[in-house]
Amino acid sequence: MSTTSSLVQELYSDIIAELQVFYDDAVLLPNPQIISQQFNIAGTSGNTINVPLTNAYTAAGVVGEGNSIIAGGVNDFDPTSAVISMTKKGTGTNVTEEALEDGGMAVVRQAVLTRLSRGLAQATDTAGFDAMKAGFSATDYGVGGANVDFTTNFVLSPEAMAYGAKRDPQVSMFFDNDLDQHEFRGTVRNGFATLRAGFGARVTSEKVIGSQTGANLTNIARAVAALRGQNAPGQMNGQYIAIIDPALEYSIASQLNSVTQTAIGDLSVIGNRALLTGLIGQAAGCDFYRSNNLPTAV
């Protein structure tokens, strides 16, 4: 296939049109199920968003006849705000003219879309998880550990975080005559902020798969109990969100498999699958998501 300028321009147009879709499919955190508070300020001035927050209220008290109802400022409305700062994230890939000539437009288009969207998505997820780690309450409901051998997992309410976007994923293309290659560069500007520290919990666990000292379903349940104690809102189904790494996923699955061996007896393969997909959420009060972008417990 000849790589004429019109075909290259068509390739570029396809990537521009589809990058947002691929990015949305790959990225975890700008997801209304996980973060209900989402804001887009593209096309406006400024690079921060102030998300208004109200102070906690107290229960009504007993008021004596002729006494002030609101003495001492009880239940005074005192709003504050959480600030989302936009940061730019960029990624790129170079495609030689020979790759276009030999690989074919469809193959190159898919490869470029995958590289750009996943690069931006991973950077966005990492920034969001770092914001959770820094912003959630200090209590850790996991097994401790503060080094690269441990992962920080999260249990959160959909109202724990806020996400803001200033620039949707965009791509630019340049041609380097000297190197005879097309240069694709993708960027995005977005950010996160913690709205309520008590609406999210950290669950540190050893990242070694099969570790006997790692966290398990009990640690997740403790984090859920802490959120319930804060009156943290759940999803529409009442469940919270648990974002865990593969090691903790394996630990939870192994724990439930052990239950099937000792307490429930010989279930069919279908029964075991129903247990793993249904009982985890029912027992711990969470919908589970797995991610390889969670921060280390440093």
Residue 232 is assigned to a structural domain of this protein: yes
- At 201 the pLDDT is 97
- What's the pLDDT at 72? 61
Residue 223 lies in a domain: yes
User: Which tens digits make up the pLDDT trace of 243-270?
Assistant: 999 999 899 888 876 654 444 444 455 5
* Distance from C-alpha of 244 to C-alpha of 257, rounded to nearest angstrom: 18
Length of the chain: 298
Q: Assign 106 a pLDDT band (cuts: 50, 70, 90).
A: confident
DSSP string, the chain: ----HHHHHHHHHHHHHHHHHHHHHH-SSS-TTT--EEEE-TTSS-SEEEEEEPPPP-------TTS-TTGGGTT----EEEEEEPEEEEEEEEEEHHHHHHH-HHHHHHHHHHHHHHHHHHHHHHHHHHHHHHHS-S-B-S----STTEEEEEEE-TTSEEEEEEEEEEEEEEEETTTTEEEEEEEEEEEEEES-GGGEEEEEEE-STT-TTS--HHHHHHHHHHHHHTT----TTS-EEEEE-HHHHHHHHHHHHHHIIIII----HHHHHHIIIIIHHHHHSEEEEE-S-PPB--
pLDDT at 62 over 90: no
Strands laid side by side in the 37-40 sheet: 37-40, 161-176, 181-194, 87-96
> Has residue 142 been placed in a domain?
yes
Q: Helix 246-259 vs helix 217-229: angle between axes, to the nearest 10 degrees?
A: 100
Determine the Cα–Cα distance for residues 296 and 298; give it in Å rounded to an integer.
6
* Residues above pLDDT 70, as percent of the chain: 88
Domain region containing 28:
5-55+81-290
Q: Total domain count for the chain?
A: 1
What pLDDT digit, counting tens, does each position of 143-176 carry? Answer: 988 889 999 999 999 999 999 999 999 999 999 9
Residue 228 covered by a domain: yes
**Sheet with 286-290, side-by-side order of all strands:** 200-206, 150-156, 240-244, 286-290
Whether residue 162 contacts residue 39, with contact meaning beta carbons closer than 8 Å, is answered with yes
Pull the structure tokens for residue 51.
């998300």
In a domain, residue 99? The reply is yes
Predicted TM-score of the model (pTM): 0.85
Q: How many CA within 13 A on the CB side of residue 67? A: 9
**pLDDT at residue 103 in the model:** 79
Rounded Cα distance between 137 and 149, Å, is 22
Confidence of residue 204 (pLDDT cuts 50, 70, 90): very high
CATH number at residue 148: 3.30.2400.20
Pairing of strands 161-176, 240-244: unpaired
Phi-psi region of 43 (alpha: psi -120 to 50; beta: other; left: phi over 0): left
- The pLDDT of residue 92 is above 80: yes
- Residues of the chain with pLDDT > 90: what percent? 59
Domain membership of residue 72 (yes or no) is no
Q: Is residue 146 part of a domain?
A: yes
Taking alpha carbons only, the member of 74, 72, 32, 79 closest to residue 51 is 79
Rounded (5°) CA angle 248-249-255: 85
For residue 70, being part of any structural domain is answered with: no
Residue 275 has pLDDT above 50, yes or no: no
